[in-house]
A and B are shown apart, each in its own frame.
Chain A
Amino acid sequence: MFDPEKLTISRSSKLHRPRGYLCGTGMCPNCMMRVDGVPNVRVCTLVGNKKPRLEIQNHIRLLDTFRLTQKFSGLLKPGFQYTHFNDSRGMSNLFYGFLKRFTGLGRVATTSKLKRSTERLEVDNLVIGGGVSGMNAALKASNTKVSPNGSRQGSVLLVDTYGALGGDIVQRWQTTMGYSELLRTKIEEVQAVISKVIANERIKCLMNTRVVGYYKDENTFLAISERSTFEIRAKNVFVASGGHEVLPLFPNNDSPRVMLSLGAQILMNQRARLPQSAVVLDLNGLGPLVAADLVERGKMSSVKLTRTEGFSTEEIDLCNQRSIEILPKSIVSNVKNSGSVYIKSLKEEDQKKYDAGLVVVCGRYQPNFELALQLGINLRLVTGTAEVRILQGAAGVNAVSATAVGSLVNGSYGLGSSSPEESGQIIFDITTDEYMRHFAKSSDSYVCLCEDVTAKDMYDSIEMGYDYVESLKRYTGCLTGPCQGKQCALNTASMLNMMNPKTSGLLTTPRQPLYPLPLWSVASE
């Protein structure tokens, strides 16, 4: 469905900014379209080969042709609705009418879906996440005898959103490629674990299925797939939900030309045609490998790689062999929709302009912490290099994934922890990164894509006194949009921490469901 000539597939909710394919995994609001008449569908997660009818949402020709909302974005700052049109009933009413005319995303459907039945599953062990951590947890759990008399080995249900086991690494590199010896060994390791899981008859895998929340009242995990709704009960649960990439701050970081690296690699898996050139922005250490992948599989003719730090000799070799130009100690300072990318050296003031079809962002990983918080697992906020510490969680509740990505070239790639006895906490690294330091006051760098909240909006709101998560979220709208904080929690937390290191209770427990779900999917008797 990806078309390099038509990058804009949606319009943002408030400012109608053009948006394109970003994360590829349902972790952002950018690909919401009307599909066969149904609004707000994330097209990146559609499965099957049917060619549905796609319509762009929230495109209002009058506004968008002249980019009116974007030109007047200064008037639409967070809180503008409270400070304007309050002098008379008449003005207020006109204003409300105006808002109703322009807000909202898709038009509601006119047809209805059939209700579907819910499958109820009871298992000894539920493992949420099919990456290395989850698979190892599943293997160990399947060998553990279960009470009361310890005579039986426990059943295990492993649930994952992807269609294949192995987590992100497998989504990124489905075949073993020769870029790096280390990558090859890692993938072989993962594949060995996958084979063991498949061979183990006590482990059942439910793929393409999302656990959307834990509900205490029925002691149930609700999970949804394209075809079914599941209510799962388990004696033990292992949260190995990993993490996902998020966008750093830089001007026009929401441009349709910007894509997260996992999204780009998924497109290559699907053999989509990509633009000819890219700038790779590396914040998680995978940059050299992703750049190599764009040359090899993406058939790109020109790839540049930038990082705020330097590169190792292995990384330099890897890039040189593929004519990837490296730009160490520099940052992306602007992206134009036309395809100009500005890169600035951290030492010098001047910025250089490059032409690139895509900016591929190897973003920092935000842990998928939501479920863990609902289950009462500690979230440990750290600044500085994340070290993994294991603590005991509540009985029967275990967190086994520590989200850490590092360089697969240099050997510091974390593949999660592996022992189900290691229950504990999830590490959330809120260190201020170079991009945040540079663009914390930028009025065209977006923290929240759902509600079009810029870094400056956040900065100003915190200064105005909305300086703890709950008030900041209500005032600006960050964390409340359709991505439910998946793109903005890290930047929000790290900005609050940067401006007010004393902020406590940094993140509130996310409410169910963790991924938006249609009402009909839970409407069965």
Chain B
Amino acid sequence: MSTRSADLLIVGGGVVGLSVAYNCAKRGLGKITLLDRGRIGRGASSRNLGGVREQFSNEPMIRLMKYSIDVWEGLSKELRWNVLFDQKGYLMLARTESQAEQVKQNVRLQNSIGVNSVVLERDDVAEMLPQLKMDGVKCASFNKRDGAVHHDAVLWGLERAARRHGVEIIENVEATKLCTTSGRINAVETTAGTISTQKVINATGVFSRDLALTVGIDLPIRSFRREALVTEAYKHFLKPVFWDLTLGLLLSQTLRGEVLCDTRDPGNEESRDTGVSLSFLKKLAREVCELFPALGELHVLRQWSGTYDVTPDGSPILGESDEVSGLYFASGFTGHGLMVAPALGRLYADYLISGKKPKLLEPFRLSRFAEGKPIVEPLVAGRKIA
């Protein structure tokens, strides 16, 4: 790769980078190049559980996800590729009084924004989850527009569509430095030469802090290891995505019949390691046996882990940098990058073409931390957000 140029350079070939690349190319934004230091999708995007939901507890995220699900619903058709978005519903289980209160409050907020989530009483919960041990169950929130996708299908569909629309995809090349002239991006140095460009999207997930630091911006993003496991395939028995708010245990059965499981990381330490642990396996096994005794017979097939790009308030950092113009952030997803990616693709295309920041993105600006307006989101699978 010699010196080249691009109208838009996207660094990071995860689901977010691909979605932005595809949407911008489709809208005719000029020459678009997407770089990844490895192969496409080998970061968090191929290591997640595919959960998609509107059930959040803050307004900006509920609005963003409401829009994203609209896009998800038409995405298979748009990409001519079935992304296996199964709207099987998402259930959050409350087993303490305070959780029950929280769940009801969330549902009220969601309903006020036009999300039709409901509170399920004990009987409804028992009916929906016949294997669940009902001791101590208070209630649950449920939303039938939520569900799960197959992450690899999403990646392949986006990659194909991006290529069809002329996006240049370069694998195994790393962006090493952002270059500026008088406060504007003018080039990016890579391991294979310099690419000149006026606009860069930093969609490098847990590495986005490193890249931003090359122009002196310190993104408040930390990396945490996040483990998961999958079982052998069984005949379908689990309808919705299940999430227990007390333990953080999450179960979701795929269309192939395997059960994806995860829970709060017992270590919960800052790390970029993607190894797996025995302590996680044992913790998860105990929790499944406690809540669903009969599911103790499920066979664990494979453990793996990925990383979460975590912000202090649990919400992503989006939009153009105030300090360096031409530099756009798209990271800090704290475990929700896949589900928002379709919305982000559309919104960034609007943004870059019109030059006007879409309303839905506005609250997620980096300066919210300095302004004291964090978007606190406690509903983060696998982690406790302070």
Residue A271, interface by CB 8 Å? no
Interface centre among B39, B267, B293, B296 (most CB of A within 10 A): B296
Q: Are A512 and B282 in contact (CB under 8 A)?
A: no
Residue B196, interface by CB 8 Å? no
Residue A113, interface by CB 8 Å? yes
Q: Are A81 and B234 in contact (CB under 8 A)?
A: no
Given contacts A217-B277, A222-B278, A511-B303, whether A82 and B46 have CB atoms under 8 Å apart is no
Given contacts A39-B234, A86-B82, A522-B285, whether A108 and B298 have CB atoms under 8 Å apart is yes
Q: Are A88 and B282 in contact (CB under 8 A)?
A: no
Q: Are A216 and B277 in contact (CB under 8 A)?
A: yes
Contacts of A82 in B (CB 8 A): 81-84, 153, 156-157
A524-B296 Cα distance, complex, nearest whole Å: 12
Residue A99, interface by CB 8 Å? yes
Residue A356, interface by CB 8 Å? no
Residue B300, interface by CB 8 Å? yes
Q: Which residues from 187 to 234 on chain B have a C-beta closer than 8 Å to any C-beta of chain A?
A: 231-234
Residue of B nearest to A32 (CB): B232
Residue B123, interface by CB 8 Å? no
Contacts of B77 in A (CB 8 A): 86-88
Contacts of B242 in A (CB 8 A): none
Q: Are B235 and A511 in contact (CB under 8 A)?
A: no
Residue A196, interface by CB 8 Å? no
- Stretch of A198-206, A251-259, A466-474 at the chain-chain interface: A466-474
Contacts of B231 in A (CB 8 A): 516
Residue B288, interface by CB 8 Å? yes
- Within the complex, which residue of B84, B233, B297, B300 is in contact with A81, where a contact is CB–CB below 8 Å? B84
Given contacts A511-B276, A513-B303, whether A520 and B285 have CB atoms under 8 Å apart is yes
Residue B286, interface by CB 8 Å? yes
Residue of B nearest to A510 (CB): B302
- Within the complex, which residue of B85, B282, B298 is in contact with A518, where a contact is CB–CB below 8 Å? B298
Q: Which residues from 93 to 142 on chain A have a C-beta closer than 8 Å to any C-beta of chain B?
A: 93, 95-96, 99-101, 103-113, 115
Interface string of A502-515 (1 = CB under 8 A from B): 00000000011100
Contacts of B302 in A (CB 8 A): 480, 484, 511-513
Total number of B residues with any Cβ neighbor in A under 8 Å? 56
Q: Are A110 and B294 in contact (CB under 8 A)?
A: yes
State the Cβ distance, B338 to closest chain A Cβ, in Å: 15
Q: Are B278 and A100 in contact (CB under 8 A)?
A: no
A218-B289 Cα distance, complex, nearest whole Å: 22
State the Cβ distance, A265 to closest chain B Cβ, in Å: 27
Interface string of B260-290 (1 = CB under 8 A from A): 0000000100000001111101101110110
Residue A195, interface by CB 8 Å? no
Q: Are A105 and B232 in contact (CB under 8 A)?
A: yes
Residue B152, interface by CB 8 Å? yes
State the Cβ distance, A126 to closest chain B Cβ, in Å: 16
Residue A38, interface by CB 8 Å? yes
Q: Are B82 and A518 in contact (CB under 8 A)?
A: no
Q: Which residues from 38 to 88 on chain A have a C-beta closer than 8 Å to any C-beta of chain B?
A: 38-40, 58, 81-88
Q: Which residues from 8 to 54 on chain B have a C-beta closer than 8 Å to any C-beta of chain A?
A: 39, 42, 46
A38-B46 Cα distance, complex, nearest whole Å: 32
Given contacts A82-B82, A92-B85, A100-B255, whether A470 and B300 have CB atoms under 8 Å apart is no
Contacts of B58 in A (CB 8 A): none
Residue A525, interface by CB 8 Å? yes
State the Cβ distance, B280 to closest chain A Cβ, in Å: 8
Residue of A nearest to B87 (CB): A93
Q: Are A512 and B303 in contact (CB under 8 A)?
A: yes
Residue A393, interface by CB 8 Å? no
Residue B111, interface by CB 8 Å? no
Residue B96, interface by CB 8 Å? no
Q: Are A100 and B297 in contact (CB under 8 A)?
A: no
Q: Which residues from 288 to 311 on chain B have a C-beta closer than 8 Å to any C-beta of chain A?
A: 288-289, 293-304
Contacts of A84 in B (CB 8 A): 82
State the Cβ distance, B306 to closest chain A Cβ, in Å: 12
Contacts of B157 in A (CB 8 A): 82
Q: Are B278 and A220 in contact (CB under 8 A)?
A: yes
Contacts of B300 in A (CB 8 A): 513, 516-519, 522
Residue A215, interface by CB 8 Å? yes
Given contacts A104-B256, A511-B303, whether A519 and B297 have CB atoms under 8 Å apart is yes
Residue B166, interface by CB 8 Å? no
Residue B4, interface by CB 8 Å? no
Q: Are A103 and B281 in contact (CB under 8 A)?
A: no
A525-B86 Cα distance, complex, nearest whole Å: 36
Contacts of A38 in B (CB 8 A): 297
A39-B232 Cα distance, complex, nearest whole Å: 10
Residue of B nearest to A219 (CB): B278
Residue B368, interface by CB 8 Å? no
Interface centre among B233, B255, B276, B297 (most CB of A within 10 A): B297
- Within the complex, which residue of B76, B152, B286, B296 is in contact with A92, where a contact is CB–CB below 8 Å? B76
State the Cβ distance, A521 to closest chain B Cβ, in Å: 8
Residue A382, interface by CB 8 Å? no
Residue B80, interface by CB 8 Å? yes
Q: Are B288 and A519 in contact (CB under 8 A)?
A: yes
Interface centre among A83, A517, A518 (most CB of B within 10 A): A518
A311-B76 Cα distance, complex, nearest whole Å: 57
Q: Are B233 and A103 in contact (CB under 8 A)?
A: yes
Q: Are B278 and A101 in contact (CB under 8 A)?
A: no
Q: Are A111 and B294 in contact (CB under 8 A)?
A: yes
Contacts of A85 in B (CB 8 A): 82
- Within the complex, which residue of A39, A103, A215, A524 is in contact with B256, where a contact is CB–CB below 8 Å? A103
Contacts of A475 in B (CB 8 A): 152, 156
State the Cβ distance, B148 to closest chain A Cβ, in Å: 10
Residue A13, interface by CB 8 Å? yes
- Within the complex, which residue of B257, B279, B298 is in contact with A519, where a contact is CB–CB below 8 Å? B298
A447-B255 Cα distance, complex, nearest whole Å: 22
A246-B248 Cα distance, complex, nearest whole Å: 41
Q: Are B296 and A112 in contact (CB under 8 A)?
A: yes
Interface centre among A38, A92, A95, A222 (most CB of B within 10 A): A92
Given contacts A40-B299, A216-B277, A518-B297, whether A474 and B46 have CB atoms under 8 Å apart is yes
Q: Are B256 and A218 in contact (CB under 8 A)?
A: no
Contacts of A104 in B (CB 8 A): 233-236, 256-257
Q: Are B286 and A525 in contact (CB under 8 A)?
A: yes
Interface residue ranges, A against B (CB under 8 Å): 13, 38-40, 58, 81-89, 92-93, 95-96, 99-101, 103-113, 115, 215-218, 220, 222, 231, 468, 470-471, 474-475, 480, 482, 484, 511-513, 516-525
What are 23 A-B contacts with C-beta separation under 8 Å?
A40-B299, A82-B81, A82-B84, A86-B77, A86-B79, A96-B255, A100-B255, A103-B236, A104-B233, A105-B235, A108-B237, A108-B294, A215-B276, A218-B278, A218-B279, A471-B39, A512-B281, A519-B284, A519-B288, A519-B300, A520-B289, A523-B286, A525-B286
Other A-B pairs beyond A108-B234, A519-B288, 16, CB < 8 Å? A40-B299, A86-B79, A89-B74, A92-B82, A95-B82, A105-B257, A109-B297, A471-B39, A482-B233, A511-B302, A518-B297, A519-B296, A519-B298, A523-B286, A523-B289, A524-B282
- Across the A-B interface, give the 9 residue pairs with the lowest CB-CB distance, nearest first: A104-B257, A520-B296, A112-B293, A215-B278, A217-B277, A516-B299, A86-B76, A86-B82, A523-B285
